[in-house]
Chains A and B, each alone.
Chain A
Amino acid sequence: MHILAFLIRRAVQAVIVMFVISLIGFSIQDNLGDPLRELVGQSVSEAERQELRDQLGLNDPFLTQYIRFLGNAVQGDLGTSYFFKRPALDVIMDKFPATFELVIGAVVIFLSLSIPAGIYCAIHRNSWITRIIMTGSIIGISVPVFLTAIFMVWLFGVELGWLPAFGRGDTVTLPWGWDTGFLTLDGLKHLILPSVTLSSIMLPLFIRLIRAEMMETMGTDYVRFARAKGLRTARVRYVHAFRNTLLPVVTVGGLMIGTLIAYTILTETVFQWPGMGFLFLEAVNRTDTPLIIAYIIVVGLIFVVVNTIVDFVYTLINPMVKLPGAKS
């Protein structure tokens, strides 16, 4: 029952956030560009224009127009892209797999590196390897992701010519319409540089976070008690201490989804990766309003879903947290 109450509460919050985002999306549509000009061009007379405006409902009061916008949005209709002449949501969803696979690649890389590095730095605080990793992490934080990207393209793509630097390469279409680059050698090769770049900006942040949290848990009473009981050092470290380090890592990781999406725009721009971020920037340059709005709403939805899941997982795995609204 408690979990149900929590879920309902979170769902209400998520709906409120999405409502605000839709309001922003609608006010952009209302104020940016003239949909009539996109439809009929310049050659139509003023009287015909007025008639068309009435037909399309562009003269209706704000609230009526907003409710219509919301009704359409809920049914997946976010308008038609001016440039592609196709439903904006379809255009975005075509690009979603590319961005998703880029993010998955980056997450796999930075988690598999930052967890061992963070644990090592917390246990061997004064070793020279720790000092190198910590110095490296502050340099890593100070290098903007688009410079890393340019450097990667220049070194591995142009000078050495080891790896392809632009685009996604060969993809395979899965039965449910998802284009994947994971299943071809060429697709995987194309994935390497962009995902390494994207992970390079998250890696230092996670190493520092895991190290700090691990150092804190290593000093707590239950870890000392486990050690005093005579448990093996490895067990104390990796089972008792590290497990509790994961909690804050999950939370912060969830909170970073917004940052990660912003970095995908930068990474995709340099590598000409055909994902949502690259599409969004093109839409901005072409003032393709329906596409801009569709991107904002899709990104808002991803953000809300991920945050709700992270909150839920956090409450499930943390024995110390009671679900809000639950009575003891």
Chain B
Amino acid sequence: MTAENLESLVNRRYEHGFVTDIATESLPPGLNEDVVRAISARKQEPEFMLEWRLQAYRQWLEMKEPEWAHIHYPPIDFDAISYYAAPKSDDDRPKSLDEVDPKLLETYDKLGIPLHERARLAGVAVDAVFDSVSVATTFKEKLYEAGVIFCSFSEAVREHPELVQKYLGSVVPRRDNFYAALNSAVFSDGSFVYIPKGVRCPMELSTYFRINAANTGQFERTLIIADEDSHVSYLEGCTAPMRDENQLHAAVVELVALEGAEIKYSTVQNWYPGDENGVGGIYNFVTKRGDCRGANSKISWTQVETGSAITWKYPSCLLRGENSVGEFYSVAVANNWQQADTGTKMIHIGANTRSTIVSKGISAGHAQNAYRGLVKVMPQAHGARNHTQCDSLLIGKQCGAHTFPYMEIKNPSAKIEHEATTSKISADQLFYCRQRGISEEDAVNMIVNGFCKEVFKELPMEFAVEAQALLNVSLEGAVG
């Protein structure tokens, strides 16, 4: 595609009748090969990346949206979506916290978000946010010294094409599923991490992330590679409420752990869930998968999912290396009219592979919350073990909890355990707490946090506190 073509595409007039500065332009709605080319050109990607996107797009055209999940929503018009939106210009942003919706600030306060982060989270113009640049630079230097590569996905495509080419799509193939294919064609940006052999990443990649990676767009792409005997803990998301005008989010995350490597991936997802009548909210259709490619490797997923109108997400582990370990710890909260269909897949391929699944689902209001999990043991996976614990907590009478466990065991030496419970916050428990002077809301929070304890203890410590506060905010008004 020539630069001229791109120019004309980008400058196409909006139906609203104005042409804005190229730097802040979005592509017009709709998806075709020209749009894919325009995205790739915009990002100055090498040829292999464009080819990859185009193939994904052609594959996507032949695929159908999955319909098996326990979720209901009107059909999505993929031609009504704009697939490239550049970041907002500073002129459109609030100039200071005084211009930010007070309700949002109140929520930050309840969540205990540090003051210096609030401005950035609220989208205050960059030059008004203090500290962040210098802090980020310090982190960057520290990581550079350790040999860790941590950058935006776009930067990685330009600076480290050999790594991207080698690993991209090696865990989640382009045609893995409808949304993964869509993401592969049009992904906007995301993060790239490479930890060299034997290196223990000197910091949680959370802090850095929170300071830098806002506005990665609706089709986020993340790739983390932990080379032999390396270790990294990565934190995605943020407890602060994230508002976005794009209703559909379809991210792909790929993790690769080589021999002896360990990746800990923690997520806190707090996208806009819609209002209390179920109007609005994000559709979050995510594909996350980790590949324990080498012997003795380990991948651990921890997620706290409180946001989005619809969540469709199954962070999974391919346990290929001998003695490799997969873990999945999840808290999924659905309140009001939210729908969640989430869980994991543990695919045991190598010998003596082990996996642990702890899933805590909380439903309140009119919400529907489903756990869907697959434990698969391949014929060659001698001595595989899995323990699954799947608990549901119901608050109120209108909500639902559903459990769909699948097991495919093809090796007789496998040991698989599955425990499941469903409980309700009872009126007796609430009265007991209230009789001790504790308000109903605090009592609910206390019981819910007790229920989730096993998962929270897997989160980085400072974050566990925020996650707990987040749960309380998410369930506000769930009782009474």
Do A and B truly interact? no
Point out residues on A near B: beta carbons under 8 Å: none
